[in-house]
Amino acid sequence: MTLYLKNPTFIDWKSFEIIKKDIKVTEGYNGAIQFIEKAPEQNKLAPEDKIIDCAGKIVTKSFGCGHHHIYSTLARGMGAPKKIPANFKEILKYIWWHLDKCLNLEMIEASALACAIFCAKNGVTFVIDHHASPFAVKDSLFTIADAFDKVGVSSLLCYELSDRDGEKSKQQGLEEHQNYLNSGKQGHIGLHASFTIGDTLLKQAILLAEKFNTGIHIHVAEDKADQEDCLKDYGIRVVERLYNFGALNLPKTILSHCIHLNQNEKKLIKDSGVWVAENIESNQNNNVGLADYSAVTNNVMLGTDGMHSDMLRSAKAAFFAGQSIENVGMDTIYARFRNIHHYIEKSGFKGDGENNLLILDYNSPTEVTADNFLGHFIFGIDSSHIQSVIANGKLIIENKQTILVNEDDILIYARQMGLKLWDKMK
Ligand SMILES: [Zn+2]
């Protein structure tokens, strides 16, 4: 199938060069786009091909999310926990570790389908997820991948290994990674955070990552407690511990948050070239502190930490909060927003080729040029302007409607599963 975008204003995501030529988009993983003088006439099209009129519309590369949690999708609007958390560890204990223990595969499927739709409608065509469901581990990653495939969004998954839920759950987590990666799917080896991972599990996870030529994906120093526990239990800091075990030798490794680091840890991260995921709204919500990432590394990408699936919102939040912490520029935030594409390309993952595009209905009161695009990115363009989305050359959102799945049916299913989950959590 070939898509033709007629009369678009194309903005190159790297250079901001504006190109006003028709575009031929070929379907397939890591596919390309081609600028052509003129799209064919409707009556000359092959039956499976399609022309989209983009007159007055902006076309640019779609987005990616560097750290998501689909498992939190059904948390929206749920009742208060039995104890109001007083700190970060209690937020985990009374909210997230209570919720994830109650998830079954149906709830995971509903969460992933709904989450994938939210991603797609927000122009996010590639999601890096970190999943936890300690009593429904087996097949959880396959369930999530299938749901994302149904909606048309590419994924890079892992299971959140931890010693917090006992031996059986841990073994199942290790097996799920092996089964998933042995099947040819792409993923990381997921770990919750240093403070819930013993040395044996950490070693096992790194060996698995090496075996499958991938990286680990772990929460790092999200709260001071992670560092305090590491110093107490091992006499070293979190990043030093990961370094000692070889996690920083894996270039595909993603360290999420990285808020409470000392100079040595920052240097270890910078020198290693591993990646950091910034999730500023989640950090504000959990009141764990905020980081000056410019002092850590340039390999920073943005995530949502499961708060939502709107990466434009994440970018704006990172820019505004970043003013007081690191005096961050629009160019730096845009680079972080787009770094996920470099990460995916360098890591050799599939699903983020140039044939991942979105069409913006952005009727600006001022001219959009290569020189001022960043101003429009921060102060103008938001997800309400996203009209259509193309993933791997396939149209997945057209005029704000899902193409491959029925959104209404899925949200009905999600609400049913949400009620079941909340009931179980009582
Ligand atoms: Zn997270």
Q: What is the CATH number of the domain that holds 257?
A: 3.20.20.140
CA of 257 from ligand 1 middle (Å) equals: 8
Domain check: are 72 and 131 in the same one?
yes
CA of 35 from ligand 1 middle (Å) equals: 39
Decide: 192 and 221 in contact? Cβ < 8 Å.
Answer: no
For 151, the token pair is 């909606």
CA of 50 from ligand 1 middle (Å) equals: 39
* Residue 321 placed within a domain: yes
CA of 171 from ligand 1 middle (Å) equals: 21
- State the pLDDT at residue 217: 98
Query: Per residue in 134-158, pLDDT tens?
Result: 999 999 999 999 999 999 999 999 9
Interatomic CA distance for residues 202 and 239, integer angstroms: 13
- When pLDDT is averaged across residues 182-210 and rounded to a whole number, the result is 98
Query: Per residue in 265-294, pLDDT tens?
Result: 999 999 999 999 999 999 999 999 999 999
* Residue 414 placed within a domain: no
Domain check: are 395 and 312 in the same one?
no
* Residue 415 placed within a domain: no
Domain check: are 198 and 144 in the same one?
yes
* Residue 411 placed within a domain: no
CA of 36 from ligand 1 middle (Å) equals: 42
pLDDT more than 70, % of the chain: 100
- When pLDDT is averaged across residues 342-348 and rounded to a whole number, the result is 98
Q: How does residue 339 score in pLDDT terms, banded at 50, 70 and 90? A: very high
CA of 131 from ligand 1 middle (Å) equals: 9
CA of 67 from ligand 1 middle (Å) equals: 6
Burial annotation 344-353 (CB, 10 A radius, 16+ → b, else e): beebebebbb
Domain check: are 94 and 146 in the same one?
yes
* Residue 410 placed within a domain: no
Helices 238-245/263-272 angle, 10° precision: 40
- State the pLDDT at residue 267: 98
CA of 232 from ligand 1 middle (Å) equals: 23
CA of 303 from ligand 1 middle (Å) equals: 9
CA of 129 from ligand 1 middle (Å) equals: 9
Find the largest Cα–Cα distance for the chain.
72
CA of 306 from ligand 1 middle (Å) equals: 7
**Domain tally, the chain:** 2
CA of 214 from ligand 1 middle (Å) equals: 19
CA of 40 from ligand 1 middle (Å) equals: 46
Sign of the C-alpha dihedral computed for residues 384, 124, 332 and 364 taken in this order: negative
The enclosing H or E element of 285 equals helix 280-286
CA of 389 from ligand 1 middle (Å) equals: 26
Q: How does residue 369 score in pLDDT terms, banded at 50, 70 and 90? A: very high
Domain check: are 37 and 77 in the same one?
no
* Residue 420 placed within a domain: no
Q: How does residue 211 score in pLDDT terms, banded at 50, 70 and 90? A: very high
Q: By residue range, what is the domain housing residue 296?
A: 63-347
Query: Per residue in 328-338, pLDDT tens?
Result: 999 999 999 99
pLDDT at 30 over 90: no
- State the pLDDT at residue 306: 98
Average pLDDT over all residues of the chain: 97
Domain check: are 363 and 239 in the same one?
no
Domain check: are 115 and 229 in the same one?
yes
- State the pLDDT at residue 42: 86
CA distances from 311 to 145, 222, 352 (A): 20, 20, 16
For 299, the token pair is 């390999």
Backbone angles phi, psi at 280, to 5 degrees: -70, -35
CA of 283 from ligand 1 middle (Å) equals: 10
* Residue 393 placed within a domain: yes
Amino acid at 59: V
Domain check: are 361 and 374 in the same one?
yes
* Residue 70 placed within a domain: yes
CA of 368 from ligand 1 middle (Å) equals: 35
Q: How does residue 327 score in pLDDT terms, banded at 50, 70 and 90? A: very high
- When pLDDT is averaged across residues 43-65 and rounded to a whole number, the result is 95
- When pLDDT is averaged across residues 298-311 and rounded to a whole number, the result is 98
For 367, the token pair is 């001219």
Backbone angles phi, psi at 230, to 5 degrees: -65, -45
CA of 11 from ligand 1 middle (Å) equals: 32
CA of 109 from ligand 1 middle (Å) equals: 19
Cα Rg of the chain, angstroms: 21
pLDDT more than 90, % of the chain: 98
Q: What CATH number corresponds to the domain at position 19?
A: 2.30.40.10
Residue ending a domain, choose from 347, 369, 385: 347
Domain check: are 206 and 99 in the same one?
yes
Domain check: are 183 and 225 in the same one?
yes
Q: How does residue 1 score in pLDDT terms, banded at 50, 70 and 90? A: confident
Domain check: are 51 and 69 in the same one?
no
How is the beta sheet containing 154-156 ordered, strand by strand? Answer: 63-68, 124-129, 154-156
DSSP for 7-65, written as a single string: S-EEE-TTT--EE-SEEEEE-STT--EEEES-PPPGGGS-TT-EEEE-TT-EEEE-EEE
CA of 192 from ligand 1 middle (Å) equals: 8
Domain check: are 317 and 398 in the same one?
no
pTM of the model: 0.98
Residue ending a domain, choose from 332, 347, 362: 347
